[in-house]
Every structure is written in structure tokens, then in C-alpha cells.
Amino acid sequence: MKKMAIVCSGGDSSGMNAALKRFVEYCIRKEIEPWFVHDGYEGLIDDRIEKADYASVAGIITRGGTKIGSARSKRFMEAHYRKQAIANLHARGIGALVVLGGDGSFRGMHKLTQESDLAFCGIPATIDNDIAGTEYCLGVDTALNVIKDAVDAIRDTASSFGRAFVIETMGRECGYLALVSALTGGAEMCLIPEIPYDLNAYKRDFLREKAQGRRYFIAIVSEALKKSEEVAKWFEEEVGIESRVTVLGHIQRGGVTSVHDRLMAYRFVTHAVDALLEGKKSSVICYNDGGFEAKHIDDVASKQYSIPEELLSLAKEYGSE
């Protein structure tokens, strides 16, 4: 294998630039020619593919997002566009593609492995942390730290004014970000789709706490529930406290990449390139129990992620008797 390319697909996550830097430098060390695919699968279809070198990745490790761009591609769902994407790689003699992305990106990669003779390796890179088979995805630590800073700042104004703040986190249909942020941010309420909740139980607790002197509340709610405004109204009508909603939105995807995500990017990419050189043609690099493993794409793209029961058990303490 003489040439290898890398693409960022779907939602961006901090750590992608660190991964690009490691990819270029490690490929050159292994005497492989590195290539970039710009703007996700859309760029793969439209032939936005260029050779990369040391200058391509100079100074990018401190930046969030991805220098080569990303995209969600509806066209890639159609076979004739995937055929064009494969032809573009063949035209340059590129024998393997590393895909940084989430579940949609891996479903697209799964199709490519079935429709071509090229080799592919996925790296879980999504702040949602919702990829089956891996306990960690690139960018999650940075996103959690962004949320942590926001919660800490909001707590200052909540305590000053005696308000309830409902903070909505991202994560699509997965409550991981909300759950970990609530546990580590000292929130009084945590609502996620994985756990049924009873606002009446919260009401009993919160009214008792108010009577004992609590002046404010922090509630962290997963965007999947679409309940943030409703919960804020509940605070005012049922608990009797002024409330505000803060939707953190896309700031969770940006920011300076944390040390942990920079290191994980380095390790993920190293294992991905090595897996391809070892002849694994359709794998995803997964991280579990402190180690890395190249799992077949069938074991990742076709399964659903579940938050570890240990974390869920901690969340079940919210709103309980």
C-alpha cells in the first residue's frame, strides 16, 4: 500500500485536527503517501482530494474543528455517487481510506466496503459518544469540558439571582453528555432519554430543599427529550422559582482540544494506520477498558450504543426517594 487518504465526515469534533496531524506524520514515517479528502463524503464524490505533507498540518493541533472540512452527504446514500467516490480514489492509486466520524459516517463506510476492493478503517469521532463497540469517541472530553465551563459560569448567576437554570446539552438521541455533565457539574436534576423520570419526585425533593434554604437549581437536560422549555415552566409553576433556559448548542463541538483528546487522536490514528497495513480491510478502531481493538465494521455499524449500566445507576439517584 503506497497511498492512504483520510476524511472527516458528519458532525465535527475537537481532536480531528490532531488526528490529521498524526495521520500525515505517521504515514510519511511508514513510507506511505498521505492524502486529504476535503468536505467529507461530498468531497469524495466531487473529487476534492489532494496530497498532504508536513506543511499541510503545521500549527493545526491547537485548533478545534477540522482543517479539511466535513459534511453530511445525502448524495452518498445513492449507489451511483458512491461508485463515483470509489473511482476518484482509484484514479489516484489510493488503496485505503481512514474515516473519522459517527454512526452515519460508518454506515456510509460499510457500503463502501461492500462495493469496492479498497480498504477502510473508521475512527469514532463524535461528541455524542454513541458508537456501538467503543466506550470513547474522539472529541468527547473536549465537549465535556466546554459544558463544564458553561455550567460553572451559569451557577454563578443562578446563585446570585436565586433562579433555576435548565441547561440543554447536545448528544442527539444519546444522553451521555448530559449524564456525565450532571454528575460532574453538581446538577440537581438530570433528564436523559435512557431513564424514565418523574417530575413529582423532583418536586417533593426541591420543595423540601427550598424550605431548608436552597436558593437555586441547576437542571441538565438532553436535547433528545425536547423538554427544556417545559421543564423551565415546571420550575416556575410547581417549584415556585424563576427559571431560565440555556441551550449550549454548537459551542460544544468547538474549543481548544483537550490534552486527553489530543492523546486519543494520536493513539486512534496509529492503530488505524497499523490495522490497514496489517491487511484489515473493513474495521473500526474501538477503545475499551484502556485498550484498542480493530473491530469489523459489521460489529459497529449494525448495532446500537448503550450507556454503561454503572453510569446509568448513578443517574437513577436523581429524582428518587
User: Which residues are catalytically annotated?
Assistant: 128
Secondary structure in 3-state letters for the chain: CCEEEEEECCCCCCCHHHHHHHHHHHHHHCCCEEEEECCHHHHHHCCCEEECCHHHHCCCCCCCCCCCCCCCCCHHHCHHHHHHHHHHHHHCCCCEEEEEECHHHHHHHHHHHHHCCCEEEEEEECCCCCCCCCCCCECHHHHHHHHHHHHHHHHHHHHHHCCEEEEEECCCCCCHHHHHHHHHHCCCEEECCCCCCCHHHHHHHHHHHHHCCCCCEEEEEEHHHCCHHHHHHHHHHHHCCCEEEEECHHHHHCCCCCHHHHHHHHHHHHHHHHHHHCCCCEEEEEEECCEEEEEECHHHHCCCCCCCHHHHHHHCCCCCC
